[in-house]
Homo-oligomer: A and B are copies of this chain.
Amino acid sequence: MTALSPLVGRLMQALRCLPGVGPRSAQRMAFHLLEKDRKGAQLLVDVLSEALEKVQRCTQCRTLSETPACPICSNSRRDRSLLCIVETPADIQAIEQTADYNGLYFVLMGRLSPLDGIGPREIGLDALTHRLRTESVREVILATNPTLEGEATAHYISELMHQAGIRVTRLAHGIPMGGELEFVDSSTLSHALNGRREM
């Protein structure tokens, strides 16, 4: 790679830490940042460095936050008797956008995956049980993803909740709104059948 300025080569390498960025995108990004958008690049340096310094996990729900308690946990108008358990901060975003939920969250920051060494401790279940013991939560809503690992995680947590005598629910699975029946996969359809409701 003598053709390239070594520093530009190092920049390409550094950009590969971004998810989904291979050698070619990294090259395109490096040239773009240095040639077309130095202002944007400088802003990225500044904001990323500030975020690395200030953003930690919320001490209550484990989402990413620059304050010890995140905006939702510190909002006194949220219903503290409802706790929704999600895998990532992005899931909080998605649920907040429905404007249908006014409780609190707990972020696993992952899912149970014993083969990768991710057990109950790694997804914060000790913090969760401690929290449930000290706070008066009426209902826990499991909103992990409907994947194999997400389902296993939901089952594991529901066992914990049953032991603690707390009501536990799971988001409904079924045909997505606007979806067409013929294009729905059979696993979703079978969930929709089994979960059918009186009308």
- Chain A interface residues (CB < 8 Å from chain B): 2-8, 10-11, 13-15, 17-20, 25, 27-35, 37-38, 40-52, 54-55, 63-67, 70-72, 75, 88-90, 92-93, 96, 109
Contact = CB atoms under 8 A, between A and B. Distances in A.
Nearest to A19: B32
Contacts of A55: 5, 7-8, 11, 34
A66 B8 contact: yes
B52 A38 contact: yes
Contacts of A67: 5
A48 B50 contact: no
Contacts of A10: 47, 51
A33 B18 contact: yes
* Count of chain copies: 2
Residue among A8, A20, A43 with the highest chain B CB neighbour number at 10 A: A8
A82 to B, nearest CB: 15
A107 to B, nearest CB: 10
For the complex of A and B, list the 7 residue pairs with the smallest distance between their C-beta atoms, beginning with the closest: A17-B40, A3-B96, A14-B47, A7-B66, A14-B44, A5-B65, A45-B49
Contacts of A20: 25, 28
Contacts of A63: 5
B35 A64 contact: yes
24 contacts: A4-B89, A5-B63, A5-B64, A5-B70, A8-B51, A8-B55, A8-B64, A8-B89, A11-B51, A14-B43, A14-B48, A15-B44, A17-B33, A17-B41, A18-B32, A19-B32, A27-B93, A28-B90, A33-B48, A38-B52, A41-B48, A42-B52, A45-B49, A45-B52
Given A64-B31, A64-B35, A47 B5 contact: no
A88 B8 CA distance: 14
A16 to B, nearest CB: 8
